[in-house]
Amino acid sequence: MRLQTVLLAAAFVFLTEADDQHRPPPPTTPALSNGLAKTPPMGFSTWNQFGDQISEQLIIETIDTMASNGLRDAGFVFINLDDGWQRYPGNRSYHPGPIEADPVKFPKGIKYLSDYAHSKGFKFGIYNGPGQQTCAGYIGSEGHVEEDAATWASWGVDHLKYDSCCSEGPTAPQAEVETIFRNMSLALLATKRPIVFHACHCGWADIWKWAAHDGANQWRIGQDIPDDFNYPGYRDGYYFDVLEMLDRGRGLEKYSGPGHWNDYDMLIVGLNGNSTQLEGTGCSNVEYRSHFTMWCMVASPLLIGADVRTLSAYDLQTLTNKEVIAISQDPLGKVATVVHEDLTLQTQVYAKDMSDGSKAVAYLNRGTLTANITVDPFKDLHVWWKQYHVRDLWKHQDMGIFNFSNPYMVEVFAHEVKALRFTPIWS
Ligand code: GLA
């Protein structure tokens, strides 16, 4: 008896020590949190369509359009200025005064725009970078971190995209990148204004592992998205198309959750190959719909990158599908994982736990031929439901009651996604 106890104790010590060797060292800094973004942020960003060709009039018209065409009411509330709102190009050290907006593009100033956004039920976002210059060559925040955070707070800013990819680069050590984000996070917290913090570093330095600890609410998992669903061939290694971005997210699901999200980059729905910034020739209606569905499944932030004033009726319907948006905004904050795949047919099934006990399920056809897709509830979804009810979230139709010997199977076109909700029937 005594020997057993001794052996058990020794085994415990051995296992604990072995386990400790594989554990990353605990962070030496306290965790930061602003308590915001309990669900993935939704809104509009200027970059994908307009680059730095932005103006007061564009933003006012964007706000007015989104207030009246259903986008605001579907949840797209952030109106985010990306790069190019700043007055000066060049190094910050040549412009040591407080950061200013370009007076030609924004004659009434940023506070006027954020007040306008707030008066119409929106929130307002801004962009800058930590170095001397931002990615588009405007002055960065180096040496002015606290001052800039205070300026943005005084303008009524609710979201900051702070983009280090051009100043720190893909090989910058984690400690260096972490410090610059942490410093801005602390500066934002010091303003006492609730400001959602996007730590944007193009998916380098394993940012998903540490950014939430440093107070970030979202971080990009990859470089920029192009306007392509599946670019056929090698491009330049910089862009991740829709399917590549989804693959990039595999294995990173656990880093996302309420308050801190893996960001698969801004939406390309509606760009139709007309972006002034992104490579790519555009996608079909079906591909844009699949892209939107999958961004909801993986709980990515949802920032519309197209010109909302000229969206087609189809794209508007895509972006305002409340049943699909409910997957993105579910309070449990889970990220869908691949539960089944067929490498020959190039089909995948993604599933995500919902807070009401149901499952959001996406049947994704990555291939170029129509395929029948199904999923085994026991083997793949690990549920012991005798029967389940299936709803098609794009058709807005109940598809019937199914069970393990008769699982839901459906024909899925090339590059199409069937967005489904499986709800157990217990009686
Ligand atoms: C980087 C980012 C883009 C955009 C531009 C702005 O390329 O990845 O999303 O913010 O900078 O210059």
pLDDT band at 25 (very low <50, low <70, confident <90, very high): low
SS3 302: strand
342, 340, 32, 349: which is closest to 212 by C-alpha?
Answer: 32
Average of per-residue pLDDT across 42-49 = 98
What residue's CA is closest to ligand 1, atom 11? 135
Q: Which residues pair with 79 in a beta bridge?
A: 44, 124
Residue 359, CA distances (Å) to 306, 320, 398 in order:
30, 21, 15
pLDDT band at 157 (very low <50, low <70, confident <90, very high): very high
- Binding site membership of 164 for ligand 1 (Cβ less than 6 Å): no
pLDDT given at position 403: 95
**Dihedral angle, C-alpha 85, 89, 91, 94, nearest 10 °:** -100
Residues 6+ apart with CB under 8 A from 160: 125, 126, 127, 128, 149, 152, 184, 188, 195, 196, 197, 198
Quickly tell me which residue has 């007015």 as its tokens.
64
Residues 6+ apart with CB under 8 A from 333: 38, 39, 256, 257, 258, 299
Average of per-residue pLDDT across 7-23 = 45
Is this prediction's pTM over 0.85?
yes
pLDDT given at position 24: 60
- Where is average pLDDT lowest: 3-7, 89-93, 169-173? 3-7
Neighbours of 230 (CB within 10 A): 15
More confident residue, 5 or 52: 52
pLDDT given at position 4: 43
Neighbours of 291 (CB within 10 A): 26
Among 200, 221, 271, the mutation site with the greatest number of ligand 1 atoms within 8 A of its Cβ is 200
The secondary element (H helix, E strand) that includes residue 389 is: strand 387-392
Asked if pLDDT for residue 310 goes beyond 80, the answer is: yes
d(C-alpha 188, C-alpha 34), whole Å: 9
- Binding site membership of 134 for ligand 1 (Cβ less than 6 Å): yes
- Where is average pLDDT lowest: 4-8, 76-80, 355-359, 416-420? 4-8
SS3 178: helix
Residue 64, CA distances (Å) to 51, 211, 367, 425 in order:
21, 34, 39, 44
Q: Are 416 and 408 in contact (CB under 8 A)?
A: no
Average of per-residue pLDDT across 298-312 = 98
Asked if pLDDT for residue 52 goes beyond 70, the answer is: yes
pLDDT given at position 28: 85
d(C-alpha 368, C-alpha 414), whole Å: 5
d(C-alpha 217, C-alpha 36), whole Å: 7
Question: For the chain, what percent of residues have pLDDT higher than 70?
Answer: 93
Ligand 1 midpoint to CA 81 (Å): 11
Sheet holding 387-392, edge to edge: 337-342, 347-353, 359-365, 417-425, 387-392, 397-403
d(C-alpha 257, C-alpha 335), whole Å: 8
DSSP 338-349: EEEEETTTTEEE
Asked if pLDDT for residue 325 goes beyond 60, the answer is: yes
Q: Are 34 and 195 in contact (CB under 8 A)?
A: yes
264, 260, 218, 262: which is closest to 245 by C-alpha?
Answer: 264
Asked if pLDDT for residue 40 goes beyond 90, the answer is: yes
pLDDT given at position 23: 62
Asked if pLDDT for residue 26 goes beyond 90, the answer is: no
pLDDT given at position 32: 97
Asked if pLDDT for residue 224 goes beyond 50, the answer is: yes
- Binding site membership of 135 for ligand 1 (Cβ less than 6 Å): yes
Ligand 1 midpoint to CA 365 (Å): 30
- Binding site membership of 214 for ligand 1 (Cβ less than 6 Å): no
Average of per-residue pLDDT across 286-311 = 98
pLDDT given at position 284: 97
**163, 228, 241, 315: the active-site residue:** 163
d(C-alpha 270, C-alpha 284), whole Å: 9
pLDDT given at position 27: 74
pLDDT band at 426 (very low <50, low <70, confident <90, very high): confident
pLDDT given at position 8: 40
Ligand 1 midpoint to CA 265 (Å): 10
Question: For the chain, what percent of residues have pLDDT higher than 90?
Answer: 90
* 163 is known as an active-site residue: yes
Q: What is the pLDDT of residues 124-156, one digit of tens each?
A: 999 999 999 999 999 999 999 999 999 999 999
pLDDT given at position 304: 98
Asked if pLDDT for residue 202 goes beyond 60, the answer is: yes
Q: What is the 3-state secondary structure (H, E, C) of 240-270?
A: CCHHHHHHHHCCCHHHCECCEEEECCCECCC
Ligand 1 midpoint to CA 134 (Å): 9
Asked if pLDDT for residue 377 goes beyond 70, the answer is: yes
What residue's CA is closest to ligand 1, atom 5? 135
**Distance from the first to the final alpha carbon of the chain:** 50
pLDDT given at position 189: 98
Asked if pLDDT for residue 3 goes beyond 70, the answer is: no
Q: Are 294 and 349 in contact (CB under 8 A)?
A: no
Ligand 1 midpoint to CA 135 (Å): 6
pLDDT given at position 10: 43
- Where is average pLDDT lowest: 158-162, 279-283, 322-326? 279-283
Mean per-residue pLDDT of the chain: 94
Q: Which residues of 357-380 are buried (b: 16+ CB within 10 A; e: fewer)?
A: ebbbbbbbbbbeeebebbbebeeb
